[in-house]
Structure 1
């Protein structure tokens, strides 16, 4: 099986239910993934995310811009895939326009792929569906599950479908790393990094929010996660926290960071990979989002999360850099909005814990 899915942390995590489904459907097949090499400083290779899961056996990791721009690179990749002779190509890409779809279709035909799933123009160009009862578009995870429905049920609401199969060593390292931040009431995990500047809420907003939250979340500890390049900025925020805290930026691998999420009561961050790691771990999340993508599309999967999103007139721009409106979609989000969402989730988490304690006492 050749699985085609370019992307980084968030894109890979949202594919987990599909990867699990493919493994169930073809347990004895050799599964390789065609993906891209990291495109940003804060990105990590897909192999580092899935290593040890058994969901993917090997990788064709390439620079996609180089493949598209250089005939020699494209032919070399084609030769490698042809020599492997995959029986089935399973396509899990984002929505494609005609030109890119036709180019990729021609490439895979040249590779001699015998059969292709989700490679029709109708499937690849279909936009995310509108969900009236939610008042927004379907999750990317839902769209991907629809693409592989002919293989079976991706079981999006089953926690096992989001399992990264973390090793005991990864779990132990995470436990040791997060110990300094454990509060008497629980733990808030936060990441203020983002792959794109347009997705950044702003240092002043984060500092103001954390100063308010540390007073209202009395008894909670704080763990900040992210890339090493985010350490200093995250440290400035962490030092405002009154309770126990730890800055783990650059100190842990991506899978160990996923293991840290298992200890969180609430996660807080941008539209970036860590929010999907937290959601996959079953942690209620507060997301501070731009309006560059349709509402709902890249939200963490599940109705337990709170995503702050302003539907401005320029919503859906798809831009990587805002040059006209000074990121008004995200900068217009107030500290009070984010703080209120975090408090709401902490209240729900606390009530759930109290109910469990009462049940245990009665037993």
Structure 2
């Protein structure tokens, strides 16, 4: 059996942007395993494991004696692609020493220019493997998705007012005003929040109370299932990439980061770049007009 292993650290968005590469590997390889951060390892399928649970420290030490269990583990793979930070290539040399036939280092950092999915897919160019579809996609269990979506009345608007970076956030008063307009149009609204969004969620709760639902720190598989049946509005964030990959109809407000590199990909995504890349300058009235043209604010 031809087996490949992908080691992917980083945040949620980084992981989602690597999904096209993982999907492309499944054509020439019978089994593709993924080692990623625990919070989102299972998003790519059953053959995914938590990088956090593994003690790989010996592999980053030059000329070290490697545990036999790890020699056996890495020797199973004909191909290993690693995005782990490995400045002196100790990890690469140690994995090769285990008997891995081919090791390819992916980019540890995304640079301005080509889209992130294309930069992350560069290891495939070395292998002669093509990518037919550049849009990350997540598979869902139909029963699980139906059960999650049944908890909310439709049509459902999912809003994520955070991003983990204040400079990438549209002012919270605009989010509150937009939510009030959505409610006035009879939309069901769920506000999504993670650990980095506590301030934004507190403000939304203070002004909107229980007129909206909240999905706070949900497991990502459950959140992905919810988003698959929703219309989504967010920023340049991991949650926006998750929503796009889940199949949500996405409106993404961008700035100051460059959407040519960082925007979620897919025919279900519409990106709106703030004037001068400054979200403070993006007026609520303009976003409302944008949503009207997409049919999201009609009563």
TM class by shorter chain equals 0.7 to 0.9
With over 3 angstroms needed to count, the CA separation of the structure-2 counterparts of 1:109 and 1:257, relative to structure 1, is same
* The structure with more strand, counted as a fraction of residues: 2
User: Secondary structure of the equivalent of 1:235?
Assistant: helix
Q: 1:77 Cα deviation (Å)? A: 11
Gaps of 5+ in 2: none
Check 1:9–1:173 CA distance in 2 against 1; reply closer, same or farther (3 A cut). farther
The TM-score normalised by the length of structure 1 is 0.65
Map of 1:219 onto structure 2? 186
In the TM superposition, what is the alpha-carbon distance from 1:222 to its structure 2 partner? 1.4
The CA deviation at 1:213 is 4.1
Matches within 5 A, 1:1-363: 1-28=4-31, 31-33=33-35, 35-36=36-37, 45-50=39-44, 53-54=45-46, 56-61=47-52, 74-75=60-61, 79=67, 81-86=70-75, 87-92=78-83, 102-103=87-88, 105-111=89-95, 112=97, 113-118=100-105, 127=111, 129=113, 138-149=114-125, 150-156=127-133, 162-164=137-139, 166-179=140-153, 182=154, 186-215=155-184, 218-227=185-194, 230=198, 231-236=201-206, 238-239=208-209, 245-250=212-217, 252-264=218-230, 266-291=231-256, 293-310=257-274, 312=276, 329-346=278-295
Change (3 A) 1:73 1:191: same
Report SS of the residue matched to 1:170. Answer: helix
Count the aligned residue pairs: 283
TM (norm. structure 2) is 0.76
Offset at residue 277 of structure 1 (A): 1.9
Seen in structure 2, the aligned counterparts of structure 1 residues 110 and 49 have a Cα distance that, compared at 3 Å, is same
Structure 2 Cα separation of the partners of residues 223 and 246 of structure 1: 4
Using a 3 Å threshold, how does the CA distance of structure 1 residues 5 and 157 change in structure 2: closer, same or farther? closer
Tell me the alpha carbon deviations over residues 235-258 of structure 1, each in whole angstroms, 9 at most, x when there is no partner.
3454496xxx422224x4211111
**1:301 shift after superposition:** 0.3
Structure-1 separation of matches of 2:284 and 2:72 = 55
Cα-Cα RMSD:
3.6
Change (3 A) 1:59 1:311: same
Judging changes above 3 Å, is the alpha-carbon distance between structure 1 residues 24 and 337 closer, same or farther for their aligned structure 2 residues? same
Whole-angstrom distance in 2 between the partners of 1:28 and 1:309 = 40
> What is the SS of the residue equivalent to 1:7?
coil
Deviation at residue 332 of structure 1 after TM alignment: 2.2
Task: Please name the residue that 1:96 is paired with.
Answer: none
What CA distance in whole angstroms lies between the structure 2 residues aligned with 1:259 and 1:126? 28
CA 1:189–1:77 in 2, change beyond 3 Å: closer, same or farther?
Answer: farther
- Note the alpha carbon deviations across 1:255-275, whole angstroms, 9 max, x for none: 1111111221x2101211221
2:7 & 2:174 partners in 1: Cα distance?
38
Flag structure 1 segments of 5+ consecutive residues without an equivalent: 38-44, 94-99, 130-137, 316-328, 351-363
